[in-house]
Amino acid sequence: MSRPSTLRQHSYPQPKRLQRTNSLLKYVQDVGQVTAATLLGIAMIGSSIAAGGLVGLAISFRNLPDVRILRNYVPTETSYIYDINGKLLYSLHDEANREVVDINRMSPHLKRAVLAIEDSYFYSHNGINPSSLGRALLANFAAGSTVEGGSTITMQLVKNLFLTPRRAFSRKLAEAVLALRLEQIFSKDEILEMYLNQVYWGHNNYGAETAAQSYFNKSAKDLTLPEAAMMAGLIQAPEDYSPFNHYQYTKERQLTVLNRMRQLGWITAQEESSAKTTPLVLGEVKSFRSSILPYVTEAAVKEMKQRFGNEAVLKGGMRVQTTVDLSLQRMAEEVVQAHHARIATTADQIALVAIDPRTHFVKAMVGGVDYQQSQYNRVLQAHRQPGSAFKPFVYYTAFASGRFTPASLIADTPVSYPDGYRYYTPKNYDGSFMGTIPIRTALELSRNVPAVKLGQAVGINQVIQVCRTLGIESPMQPVTSLPLGAVDLTPMEIAGAYATFASNGWYSAPTFIVQVTDSSGNLLLDNTPHPKLVLDPWATASLTDVLQGVVARGTGKSAQIDRPVAGKTGTTDSQRDVWFVGYVPQLAAAVWVGNDNYARLRAGATGGTYAAPIWRDFMQRALANVPVEGFKRPSDFIKP
C-alpha cells in the first residue's frame, strides 16, 4: 500500500473546532490481537451532550476484526484487455468495477470536495467526531431506530470493509471502536486514499478513478472543481443523484457541495459561482460496456484463466496486452462480411485466423460472421475436416524422411487397401488418374491417390507424430484415409501448424497474450516468444517451395497476391467444409467456409473458389504496407 503524505501540504483552512465532550473509550486486546474471547471495551460517551444528557452507554463487543490486516489488504480491481498497440478492447470485473490509484493521482478538488461534504473535520478528529456522533446517538435513541448517521470518513471506511450494512446502535458503536483503532495504525492520508478507492460512486463504479472515467471520460487526477463537486455529491445516494438518472438532483447536490466548500473557506465565492455555471460534459456508463472484439477478448480471458485462475482475472486488476492488432482485426471482419454476402445462400459461416509466423502471436481472429447471433467461436471450437489442407503434413513427413524430394515420382494410379472387412479405394476429385507424376505436381493439383500412397510409404503414425510436433492436439486415428483429411481439426490448429511451415520450422505455441501486468505495472506474465526448431529446415523449405506452386499453377490460383505465397486448398468429399490455408514469411492465415449444421455447400464449391478469395482479399489489405519477402529455398539447407 502506498504511503502518501502530500495531502497535508494543501492549505486547508480548518473549521472552528467543536467543544469536545468528556468521553472514555477503552479498547481491550490481548497483545493487540482481537480473538473470539476478547472483550472489546466499553464505550462511554459522557454527560452533557445535550439537555437531558446521555449519562453513559456501554456495550460489549466480541470478535471484532483486527484492522491491522489492512496493511496487506488488496481491494478487488477491474482487469483491462488491450490490443497490441494499447487500444482498450474490454474491461472485466466481479461485483466491483474498480481501479485503485495513489492519492497523489487524484485531483485536489476531489479530495477537498469529498472532505467538505462527508467529513470536514477529518484532519482534526481521531476517527470519531464526538459532537456529531453524540448528536446522532441521541436522535437515534429517541427515535428507536437509526435515523441519523454522524459517521466520519474513517467510520464509513471500516463499515464498508468490515461490517454489515445493518442499521443498529451496536454497529454504530462498532464503527467507532474500529475507527479509533484504524487511526492509531494508519496516517490520515492513507485512510483517505483507502476511502476514495473503496467508496461506491454509482453504476457499479467503485473508487474515484473508475467513477471519473465513467462520468467524465478522464482520470481522477484531471477532475475540475465542478466535476469534483458533482462526484462528491454522489456519495450519499449514488443512484439517486446520478446525472444519468436525475440530472436536476445532480446539479442541486453539486451546489450543496460547492456551498459547503465556500463556507469552509476552501474555495472563494468567485470559484463557487464559476463552478455552478460551468456545464458538465458527461461521458457514459462504462461498467457494463461490451467488448469491441468479443471473439478475441473471450479467447484472451480463457487463456488468462487457465494461467491465473478465475478469481485473479476477475478481481486482480490485471492489464492484459493481447497480440491482436485492432486494425488487422477490422480488416478481417470487413472481408468476412463482404464475402459472406456473396456466398450466404450456400454457406452460413466463415472463420478466419491470422498468425505471425515469427512469434506465433494471433494477429486477427473472426470466429463467425455475427457474434450477436452466435457466440460460438469456430476458430477455436469448431472441429471440421480439413480435406486436402491436411496433405502438407504428409508431404513434409515424406521430405523429412530423406527418401523423397519434390522431384520424386509417384504413381497416380488405382489402388485399394484392406479396411476391416472391406477395401478402401481412394479416388481423385475429378475421378481421373494421371499415371506417374512428380510429387510436386501431385500436391500442386491436390491429387488424392498419390497422397494416400505417400502416407502409406512414410507411415501414418509418423504423420501423426509430425502433427503433434506442430501443436495439433485433436484426436487422430491412424486410418488409411488420414492423408486426405479424415480427421476433425480447428482452424487455429491448422493455422498454427502452417505458421511453423512459414517460419521454416521454428515453433512457438500460438497465443493471444503478449504480456500481463498488475495495476501497478509489475510484470506478471511475459510471453516474449522463445521459438524452438522442431522441423527439418530443408524439408520445410521444400514443402514451401511446392506450396508456392499450388498458388502459382495449381488449385490455389485464386489466392495469388503481389508477392510470393505458399498455401493449400481443402475441400471435403462431402463438400461440407472448404478451406484455404496459406502464408508469406510475415503472416499465415487460415480460412474455413461451411454450415454449422453440416449441410452440403453448393455443387462445385471448393477451397479454391470459396475460401481462397477470402484469404486473398484479407492478405492484400493486411500486407499493404509490409515489405515483400521471399522464402528460404531448399538449396539454402542440407538435405537430410
**What does the pLDDT look like over 200-257, one tens digit per residue?**
888 888 889 989 988 999 999 999 999 999 999 999 999 899 998 889 999 999 999 9
Q: Which of 77, 118, 209, 303 is catalytic?
A: 118
With cut-offs at 50, 70 and 90, classify the pLDDT of residue 16: very low
With cut-offs at 50, 70 and 90, classify the pLDDT of residue 59: very low
With cut-offs at 50, 70 and 90, classify the pLDDT of residue 1: very low
Q: Look at strands 97-98 and 205-206 and give their pairing.
A: parallel
| Catalytic (active site) residue 388 | yes
Tens-digit pLDDT profile for residues 360-385 = 999 999 999 999 999 999 999 999 99
**Residues in Cβ contact with 596 at an 8 Å cutoff, skipping those fewer than 6 apart:** 348, 349, 374, 376
Which DSSP string do the residues of 53-94 spell out, in sequence order? ----------S---GGGGGG----B-EEEE-TTS-EEEEE-S
With cut-offs at 50, 70 and 90, classify the pLDDT of residue 294: very high
Of 458, 463, 459, 434, which Cα lies nearest the Cα of 446? 434
Output Rg (C-alpha) for the chain, integer angstroms: 34
With cut-offs at 50, 70 and 90, classify the pLDDT of residue 321: very high
Domain 330-636: give its CATH architecture. 3-Layer(aba) Sandwich (3.40)
Choose the weakest-confidence range: 78-92, 132-146, 149-163.
132-146
Give the up-direction half-sphere exposure of residue 43: CA atoms within 13 A in the CB hemisphere.
22
Is the model more confident about 159 or about 288? Answer: 159
Does the pLDDT at position 304 exceed 80? yes
Does the pLDDT at position 22 exceed 90? no
Secondary structure element (H or E) that encloses residue 388, with its range = none
602: left (phi over 0), alpha (psi -120 to 50) or beta: beta
In this predicted structure, what is the pLDDT of residue 17?
A: 34
Q: Which of 107, 151, 388, 558 is catalytic?
A: 388
Distances 417 to 196, 399, 423, 479 between C-alpha atoms, Å: 75, 23, 5, 11
Q: What is the mean pLDDT of residues 112-140?
A: 82
User: CATH top-level class for 7-64+96-277?
Assistant: mainly alpha
Q: What is the DSSP letter of 532?
A: E
Contact 121, 12 (CB under 8 A): no
Does the pLDDT at position 388 exceed 50? yes
Is the model more confident about 192 or about 42? Answer: 192
Most confident segment among 155-169, 275-289, 392-406: 392-406
Q: What is the mean pLDDT of residues 189-206?
A: 90
Burial tier of 525 (Cβ tally within 10 Å: 0-12, 13-18, 19+): middle
DSSP H stretches of helix in 474-622: 491-502, 537-553, 612-622
Q: What is the mean pLDDT of residues 254-280?
A: 95
In this predicted structure, what is the pLDDT of residue 6?
A: 36
Domain 7-64+96-277 shares a fold with domain 330-636: no
Does the pLDDT at position 563 exceed 90? yes
Does the pLDDT at position 440 exceed 90? yes
Task: Please state, as a whole number, how many other Cβ atoms lie within 10 Å of the Cβ of residue 153.
Answer: 23
| Catalytic (active site) residue 444 | no
Q: Among all chains, which residue has been given the C-alpha cell 482534526?
A: 124
Q: What is the DSSP letter of 30?
A: B
Cβ-count burial 81-101 (b if 16+ within 10 Å, e if not): bbbbeeeebbbbbbebbbbbb
Does the pLDDT at position 72 exceed 90? no
Output the pTM of the full model.
0.75
Domain extents for the chain? 7-64+96-277, 330-636
In this structure, which amino acid lies at residue 248?
A: Q
Does the pLDDT at position 287 exceed 60? no
Tens-digit pLDDT profile for residues 493-533 = 999 999 999 999 999 999 999 999 998 899 999 999 999 99
Contact 608, 446 (CB under 8 A): no
In this predicted structure, what is the pLDDT of residue 35?
A: 30
Q: What is the mean pLDDT of the chain?
A: 86
